[in-house]
């Protein structure tokens, strides 16, 4: 596919004096995007606001995965990009980019981080560089310990250069994942465990099931996304 989403810097802010600016990057299927996907951005930004870490979130991006990912229930990249665009159209700091979705082959997370780092910082001086940081849930952090899923050299770059803002979810033990891994423990100071004050168990899988059954998903997703799904008859039938 050809992406209609030229890289945008319009929603990036400027960090306060003495703070280093952070840009949160969430990669995923977003099939469809839900309020939970948006809420974790707010949780992470709030966490950095109340912590004295010298870091300040000044922007965020959604990067939908390419169709080559071949995941069950995955709508086309064209639809997923449009849903993400509608979901953040009223946000003054979260944006969406279509580079990853437009690729013919699956892109490793480290490659996507490097792409965003390059686009965001290519015209900035060293002292004005913004830190791109992976935003994820504790389930993805736990997968860092699963043999064969992540290359050690990729994790060294993801954790060592970029860092991770990990949203802790009920029933998961992010610190156990960190302590269980030599690589994660070595980069402990670059892994930021963000608490979830109000549990949110909304998932795209459950949303697809509800849509397939003709059930209401209002308030689980932005209204503009629901409208787009209805207009394009998405998720009306169970995946083959």
CB count, 10 Å around CB of 144?
Answer: 22
Average pLDDT for the chain: 93
Least confident of 26-40, 184-198, 226-240: 226-240
pLDDT for position 157: 98
Q: Are 9 and 120 in contact (CB under 8 A)?
A: yes
pTM for the model stands at 0.94
Please enumerate, as own/partner, the contacts of 175-181 that have beta carbons within 8 Å and a separation of 24 or more. 177/138, 177/141, 177/142, 177/144, 177/145, 178/141, 180/145, 181/144, 181/145
Cβ-based neighbour number of residue 82 at 10 Å: 20
Q: Where do the domains of the chain lie, and which CATH numbers do they carry?
A: 20-232 (3.40.50.620)
**pLDDT tens figures, 80-110:** 999 999 999 999 999 999 999 999 999 999 9
Per-residue pLDDT at 2 exceeds 80: no
How big is the chain by its Cα radius of gyration, in Å?
18
The answer to whether residues 133 and 24 touch, using CB atoms and an 8 Å cutoff, is yes
């Amino acid at each position: 596919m050809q992406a209609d989403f030229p890289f945008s810097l319009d929603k990036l802010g400027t960090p306060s004096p003495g703070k280093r600016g952070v840009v949160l990057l969430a990669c995923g299927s977003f099939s469809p995007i839900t309020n939970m996907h948006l809420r974790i951005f707010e949780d992470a930004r709030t966490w950095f606001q109340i912590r004295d870490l010298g870091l300040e979130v000044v922007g965020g991006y959604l990067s939908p995965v390419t169709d080559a990912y071949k995941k069950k229930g995955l709508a086309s990249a064209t639809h997923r990009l449009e849903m993400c665009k509608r979901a953040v159209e009223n946000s003054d700091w979260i944006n969406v980019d279509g580079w990853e979705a437009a690729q013919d082959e699956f892109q490793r997370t480290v490659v996507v981080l490097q792409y965003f780092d390059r686009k965001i910082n290519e015209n900035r001086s060293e002292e004005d560089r913004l830190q791109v940081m992976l935003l994820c849930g504790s389930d993805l952090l736990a997968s860092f310990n699963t043999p064969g899923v992540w290359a050690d050299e990729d994790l060294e770059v993801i954790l060592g250069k970029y860092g991770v803002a990990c949203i802790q979810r009920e029933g998961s033990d992010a610190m156990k994942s960190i302590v269980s891994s030599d690589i994660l423990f070595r980069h402990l100071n670059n892994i930021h465990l963000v608490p979830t004050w109000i549990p949110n168990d909304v998932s795209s899988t459950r949303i697809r099931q509800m849509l397939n059954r003709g059930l209401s998903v209002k308030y689980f997703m932005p209204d503009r996304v629901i409208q787009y799904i209805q207009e394009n008859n998405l998720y009306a039938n169970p995946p083959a």
